[in-house]
Amino acid sequence: MPNVEMNFDGLVGPTHNYAGLSYGNVASLNNAKGLSHPKQAAQQGLIKMKTLADLGLFQGVLAPQARPDIGVLRRLGFTGNDAQVINKAAKSDPLLLAACYSASSMWTANAATVSPSADTADGKVHFTPANLTNKFHRSIEPQSTGRVLQATFNDPTTFVHHNHLPENDHFGDEGAANHTRFCLGYEQPGVEFFVYGRHAFDTSKPAPKKFPARQTIEASKAVARLHGLNDANTVFALQNPDVIDQGVFHNDVISVGNQNVLFYHEQAFAQTEHVLAEIQRKMGDIPMHFIQVPTAAVSIDDAVKSYLFNTQIITLPNGEMAIIAPTEALENLAVKTYLNELISADTPIKQVKYIDVKQSMQNGGGPACLRLRVALKAHELSAVNPHTRITEDKFIELNTWVEKHYRDELKIADLADPHLLTESQTALDELTQILHLGSVYPFQLE
């Protein structure tokens, strides 16, 4: 087994819908109440995974969560059997029901923050599920996320699983969407880069005025402490509050890193020069490639619409880097022109591959949102649950499973139908067998 950075994509769940739940996320609001296509969404996600695997990368899959979250509805006072709970919620608070039905766990960049063993004090790979406190529909994810991660990385001698941070906006944590890591080889020690949107305790510091800053510095620092990181291998940077107000709700909408490359928009950070200097200083002899995209070439509006920075920068087996971009980037002239120029410029990025993840994009989730990166040394790779790896056979098996269980279309009114719950539970129960996860869902644990 090689040393790798493995991407774990979130499999789109059977209840994928557009409920307009994410204030501050432009796509989610623009597509609110639109017709969704769960089967197509899951197929697009699987093709993305297969594309990366075919490029020679190690690709994994993380199971979606059980929705609707009946436990949360009961906790909020809806009673009776499952069908009655759904009927009552549909009548009295359809928006709440939609929130409990969200398939948002597909965006596994928000599942957790992961620190590879080369960076941590105890030499193990550390995981902290994100508490996602800023959005109700996402704040109900971390417990199941923890169980899915434990079932996927299930060797305690290699992997450490922390509890999510306290469930309060002071410790709002959005996971890897606000975290990246710089290194030379993935197995070598690196510098972990945490980007936050506000200070929770010290409110005199800059913060956005319109849209929420989901990640706090207090959360980022707590995760770094839990993972046994230190001052020499961490950099904490304030995101530019003005871009949060323009729809950049996570750092991975405005910058992305890979190895010794940081690809970022001119307006991404509050104190760019200072941040870049600190990264380079902590990287020591390893020269960073800072690829800055000027506003004159790509506006914030174009960056948000095209998801130019929600791309994945990957290292191909031949050592060259490639960008995995959504097809929306092709449709935007400024961004398409920029990318065409980028691949012939003097940077490690030598090709762009466009993929269609439109069903996810319409909820504000691009290629990078759909994946959680886990850098693994060879022996750690062997400790990962092998059934979660995307191979030719697994791809076929998962597509057959999607074809069998998923609806073609879903509109918000369909969420009132209790059959959707039973369909979803039947599908997920079967999935835990396909991925050899054991019992991870509340309906399996009762």
**DSSP states of 117-183 as a string?**
TTTSTTSSEEEEE---TTSHHHHT-HHHHHHHHHHHS--TTTEEEPPPPPSSGGG---GGGGEEEE-
> 10 Å Cβ neighbour count for 224?
22
Question: Under 8 Å CB-to-CB from 30, ≥6 apart: which residues?
Answer: none
Which residue number, 72 or 381, has a Cβ lying nearer to ligand SUG? 72
Instruction: Catalytic residue, from 5, 141, 174, 187: name it.
Output: 174
Q: How far is the CB of 253 from ligand SUG (least distance, A)?
A: 6
Q: Is 37 a catalytic residue?
A: no
Q: How far is the CB of 268 from ligand SUG (least distance, A)?
A: 14
Which residue number, 301 or 392, has a Cβ lying nearer to ligand SUG? 301
Which residue number, 12 or 160, has a Cβ lying nearer to ligand SUG? 12
Q: How far is the CB of 332 from ligand SUG (least distance, A)?
A: 18
Q: How far is the CB of 401 from ligand SUG (least distance, A)?
A: 23
Q: How far is the CB of 436 from ligand SUG (least distance, A)?
A: 27
Q: 62 is written with which tokens? A: 């993380």
Q: How far is the CB of 250 from ligand SUG (least distance, A)?
A: 4
Q: Are 99 and 137 within 8 A, CB to CB?
A: yes
68 prior amide bond cis, ω within 30:
yes
Which residue number, 139 or 280, has a Cβ lying nearer to ligand SUG? 139
Of 40, 8, 178, 244, the closest CA to residue 106 belongs to 8
Question: Under 8 Å CB-to-CB from 135, ≥6 apart: which residues?
Answer: 21, 22, 23, 104, 214
Which stretches of 226-327 are assigned E, i.e. beta strand? 234-238, 255-258, 261-265, 289-293, 312-315, 321-326
Instruction: Catalytic residue, from 5, 369, 380, 405: name it.
Output: 369
Give the burial class of 34: count Cβ atoms within 10 A of its Cβ; 0-12 exposed, 13-18 middle, 19 or more buried: middle
Q: Is 331 a catalytic residue?
A: no
Q: 144 is written with which tokens? A: 């199941």
CA–CA separation, 219 vs 73, rounded Å? 28
Q: Which residues bind ligand SUG (CB under 6 A)?
A: 18-22, 25, 28, 102, 104, 107, 109-110, 135, 138, 177, 250, 252-253, 363-365, 369
Q: Are 125 and 159 within 8 A, CB to CB?
A: yes
Which residue number, 53 or 248, has a Cβ lying nearer to ligand SUG? 248
Q: Is 183 a catalytic residue?
A: no
Q: How far is the CB of 347 from ligand SUG (least distance, A)?
A: 23
Instruction: Catalytic residue, from 250, 265, 328, 380: name it.
Output: 250
Q: Are 166 and 192 within 8 A, CB to CB?
A: no
Q: 164 is written with which tokens? A: 């999510």
Q: Are 369 and 252 within 8 A, CB to CB?
A: yes
CA–CA separation, 271 vs 422, rounded Å? 51
Q: How far is the CB of 125 from ligand SUG (least distance, A)?
A: 20
Q: Are 257 and 221 within 8 A, CB to CB?
A: no
Which residue number, 70 or 256, has a Cβ lying nearer to ligand SUG? 256
Which residue number, 233 or 363, has a Cβ lying nearer to ligand SUG? 363
Which residue number, 65 or 233, has a Cβ lying nearer to ligand SUG? 65
Which sequence positions are flagged as catalytic? 174, 250, 369
